[in-house]
């Protein structure tokens, strides 16, 4: 896992588990090496710093290169289809993109510099900008609903909330979401960050350093349930190792990240972990992806994908493949998923 900069202190977090995620025996599946890997294109430097991977349900794969502030669109065989946007401060340019979302044939790009959401077609045509008039999420995924509402990580110590919903028709911003006090504003801001997804009338929020999955009613923005992952192997081992790390605990400028990325594909939620050497033997050193089944009333970890020797920082998932950005050689990799 990545130690980035600060923290510990989750004793005050209340977890309302909605059933044991490990109460059913999760299948452990070993993946890798990938059946296809690409490092760059002959005329570009793509894959230098991938901060987000998306799919659109038609087989296209979208990859955001943060250094270039451009998105490349690939077919399912990882061949180039189009390049979306280019870096700049002009009205149709991307200032500082970290995350994006694809919905209903529109690519929504969160621009931290312009404090808004830029819109493009999958082929790269400019569609306009949604002016949010406040800082947009840094690093984490955000959700766009059909009627235009946008939900994203927006930590507020004053509001004691972790999320915000922007309603496009009314231009109203509503802050909500569970929030944990970690002692200082800087720590609160970093450790309360979450990726957000929309599914079946609910917002699903996944923190990057708190072992839970949160569910909110999208109509009322009130929490409905919380799935506790703290007893799931290897989450438990990683979490205990991090909270026991004296250097992190005693430093005011250190925090950790172990739930590196999250992806929602239909009724499955995928959580990317990067275990260390001390993790359980069933997960050799390398990335692990948890598959959480959301199809029924009982949420549980249905499968655990182990990738020995692979170190991924971002993932995207289709019905039959997992795509990941490798930290080892700055490449995009594809892994077939078993049925």
Distances, alpha carbon 18 to alpha carbons 7, 141, 208, 224, in Å: 27, 24, 20, 10
Output the pTM of the full model.
Answer: 0.91
On the CB side of 267, CA atoms within 13 Å amount to 9
Sole residue written with tokens 């989450």: 235
Buried b (16+ CB within 10 A) or exposed e, 228-261: bbbebbbbbbbbebbeeeeebeeeeebbbbbbbb
Beta-bridged to residue 304, according to DSSP, are 28, 290
Evaluate if residue 14 carries a pLDDT over 50.
no
DSSP label at residue 110: E
The whole-angstrom separation of Cα 50 and Cα 66 is: 6
Structure tokens at 316: 């995207």
Cβ contacts of 7 within 8 Å, gap of 6 or more = 182, 187, 190, 191, 209, 248, 254, 255, 256
pLDDT tens, position by position, 77-124: 999 999 999 889 888 999 988 899 999 899 999 988 888 899 999 999
The whole-angstrom separation of Cα 236 and Cα 230 is: 5
Stretch 287-308: mean pLDDT, rounded?
Answer: 95
Give me the pLDDT at residue 24, please: 60
pLDDT tens, position by position, 193-246: 999 999 999 999 999 889 999 999 999 999 999 999 999 999 999 988 887 888
Q: Tell me if the bond preceding 234 is cis, omega within 30° of 0.
A: yes
pLDDT tens, position by position, 236-279: 999 888 878 888 777 777 777 889 999 999 999 999 998 876 67
pLDDT tens, position by position, 146-193: 878 999 998 887 889 999 999 988 888 999 999 988 777 777 888 889
């Amino acid at each position: 896992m990545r130690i980035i900069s600060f923290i510990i202190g989750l004793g005050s977090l209340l977890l309302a588990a909605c059933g044991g995620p490990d109460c059913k025996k999760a299948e452990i599946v070993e993946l890798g090496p990938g059946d296809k890997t690409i490092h760059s294109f002959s005329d570009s430097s793509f894959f230098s710093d991938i901060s987000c991977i998306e799919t659109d349900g038609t087989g296209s794969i979208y990859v955001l290169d943060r250094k270039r502030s451009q998105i490349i669109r690939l077919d399912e065989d990882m061949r180039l289809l189009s390049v979306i946007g280019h870096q700049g401060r002009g009205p149709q340019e991307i200032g500082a993109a970290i995350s994006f979302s694809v919905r209903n044939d529109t690519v929504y790009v969160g621009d931290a510099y312009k404090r808004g959401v830029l819109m493009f077609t999958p082929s790269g045509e400019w569609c306009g900008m949604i002016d949010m008039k406040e800082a947009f999420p840094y690093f984490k995924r955000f959700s766009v609903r059909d009627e235009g509402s946008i939900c994203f990580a927006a930590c507020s110590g004053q509001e004691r909330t972790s999320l915000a919903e922007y309603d496009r028709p009314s231009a109203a911003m509503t802050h909500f979401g569970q929030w944990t006090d970690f002692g200082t504003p800087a720590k609160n801001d970093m450790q309360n960050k979450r990726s957000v997804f929309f599914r079946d009338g609910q917002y699903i929020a996944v923190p990057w350093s708190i072992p839970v999955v949160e569910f909110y009613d999208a109509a009322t923005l009130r929490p409905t349930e919380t799935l506790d992952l703290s007893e799931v192997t290897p989450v438990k081992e990683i979490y205990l190792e991090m909270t026991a790390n004296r250097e992190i605990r005693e430093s005011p400028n250190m925090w950790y990240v172990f739930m590196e990325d999250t992806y929602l594909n239909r009724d499955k939620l995928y959580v990317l972990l990067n275990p260390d050497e001390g993790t359980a033997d069933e997960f050799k050193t390398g990335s692990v992806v948890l598959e959480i089944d959301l199809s029924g009333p009982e949420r549980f970890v249905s499968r655990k994908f182990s990738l020995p020797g692979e170190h991924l920082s971002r993932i995207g998932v289709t019905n039959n493949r997992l795509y990941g950005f490798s930290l080892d050689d700055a490449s995009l990799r594809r892994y077939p998923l078993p049925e």
